[in-house]
């Protein structure tokens, strides 16, 4: 059993059972991949892939287990390489972060700026997606760190860390009647057309629960993935916007006005997650500290169940 063979089957599955695509992604030849897969199957004495003639049409049941184990082996190989890099080329490497739009746009920039100036030789990549995708990418080892509010902390494969809490605010045009109110109520929000995050993408489920529990039905006319889109439509006078409070910046978002809503909704907590069995480069820990300064490197390591 060779290491490449595991990489091959892994990539073939990733590429929807297309050996040609896999061979390209692996920068090698089609026949090579085909051959090695056959050799592996022969060695194990079973079919990993279901074939229809010469076409791969599925993964057999034992094949699924093998692919899963292969992924773990590859992760560990990567971990070993990282240990090597950590002790030889301290400050270079890669860092891939998976996160949602809101975090990427409003919360990460400060930490990212600090990070790239301190670690200019680390190639930083940000993958954007919904919370489920973020979780999946970290779990699959495609991202080192995942940051999201929903979902991520529930996956067994990840070790998570509460990162910070936030709440919501309402953005309205300056002339809006609600600006006169001293303290907003849920009824106030329900009295106007509401624009907020797509429910699947953010803490929306929490928001909807609060309304539901109060027996109030908000008039949601429109949902969007990100606060910028929401603000645009609020500016057009299509409704009032309910967004994360960190997504409002008075100077940048003028003439829109923000009205605090934190008394209406419980705080949401944004979590940061890493794969439990991943080896974390020092700069990864540093990035986490930059993002949530209240956790220093040692604390992070402890909380994430790293060794000593």
Partner DNA sequence: CCATATTACGGCATGCGTAACGATC
Partner DNA sequence: GATCGTTACGCATGCCGTAATATGG
Judged by the rule CB under 8 A, the positions of this chain that interact with its own copies are 1-3, 6, 43-46, 61-62, 65-66, 69-70, 72-73, 76-77, 79-81, 83-89, 277, 279
3 binds, among DNA, its own copies, none (CB under 5 to 8 A by kind): its own copies
Shortest reach from residue 307's CB to its own copies, in Å: 8
Residues in contact with 72: Cβ distance below 8 Å, sequence separation at least 6, in sequence order: 277
Residues 62 and 70: beta-carbon distance below 8 Å: no
Q: How far is CA 19 from CA 11, 54, 69, 179, 206, in A?
A: 8, 11, 20, 61, 44
Check binding of 56 to DNA (CB under 7 A).
Answer: yes
37 binds, among DNA, its own copies, none (CB under 5 to 8 A by kind): DNA
Residue 264: phi, psi to the nearest 5? -90, -30
84 binds, among DNA, its own copies, none (CB under 5 to 8 A by kind): its own copies
Classify residue 70 by its DSSP letter. Answer: H
Query: Which pair of tokens denotes residue 15?
Result: 């590429």
Check binding of 47 to DNA (CB under 7 A).
Answer: no
Check binding of 272 to DNA (CB under 7 A).
Answer: no
Nearer to DNA, 67 or 304 (CB): 67
Partner residues linked to 204 by β-bridges: none
58 binds, among its own copies, DNA, none (CB under 5 to 8 A by kind): none
Burial of 22 (0-12, 13-18, 19+ CB in 10 A): buried
4 binds, among DNA, its own copies, none (CB under 5 to 8 A by kind): DNA
Residues in contact with 304: Cβ distance below 8 Å, sequence separation at least 6, in sequence order: 159, 161, 274, 280
Shortest reach from residue 85's CB to DNA, in Å: 20
**Binding segment toward DNA, per CB under 7 A, in 22-30, 111-119, 140-148, 213-221:** 22-30
Residues binding DNA (CB under 7 A): 2, 4, 17-21, 27-32, 34-39, 51-57
């Amino acid at each position: 059993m060779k290491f490449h063979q595991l990489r091959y089957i892994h990539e073939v599955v990733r590429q929807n059972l297309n050996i040609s695509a896999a061979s390209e992604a692996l920068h090698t030849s089609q026949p090579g991949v085909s051959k090695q897969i056959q050799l592996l199957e022969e060695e194990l004495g079973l079919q990993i892939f279901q074939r229809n003639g010469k076409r791969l049409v599925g993964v057999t049941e034992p094949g699924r287990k093998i692919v899963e184990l292969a992924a773990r082996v590859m992760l560990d190989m990567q971990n070993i390489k990282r240990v090597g890099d950590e002790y030889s080329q301290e400050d270079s490497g890669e860092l891939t972060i998976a996160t949602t739009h809101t975090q990427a746009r409003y919360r990460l920039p400060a930490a990212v700026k600090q990070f790239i100036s301190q670690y200019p030789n680390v190639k930083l990549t940000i993958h954007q997606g919904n919370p489920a995708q973020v979780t999946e990418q970290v779990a699959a080892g495609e991202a080192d760190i995942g940051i999201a509010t929903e979902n991520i902390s529930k996956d067994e494969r990840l070790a998570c860390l509460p990162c910070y809490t936030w709440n919501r605010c309402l953005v309205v045009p300056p002339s809006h009647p609600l600006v006169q109110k001293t303290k907003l109520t849920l009824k106030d929000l329900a009295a106007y057309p509401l624009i907020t995050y797509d429910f699947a993408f953010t803490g929306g489920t929490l928001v909807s629960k609060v309304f539901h529990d109060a027996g109030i039905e908000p008039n949601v006319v429109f949902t969007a993935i990100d606060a910028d889109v929401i603000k645009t439509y609020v500016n057009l006078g299509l409704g009032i916007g309910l967004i994360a409070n960190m997504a409002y910046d008075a100077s940048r978002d003028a003439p829109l006005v923000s009205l605090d809503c934190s008394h209406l909704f419980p705080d949401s907590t944004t979590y940061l997650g890493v794969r439990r069995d991943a080896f974390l480069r020092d700069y990864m820990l540093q990035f986490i500290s930059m993002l949530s300064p209240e956790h220093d490197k040692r604390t992070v390591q402890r909380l994430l169940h790293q060794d000593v």
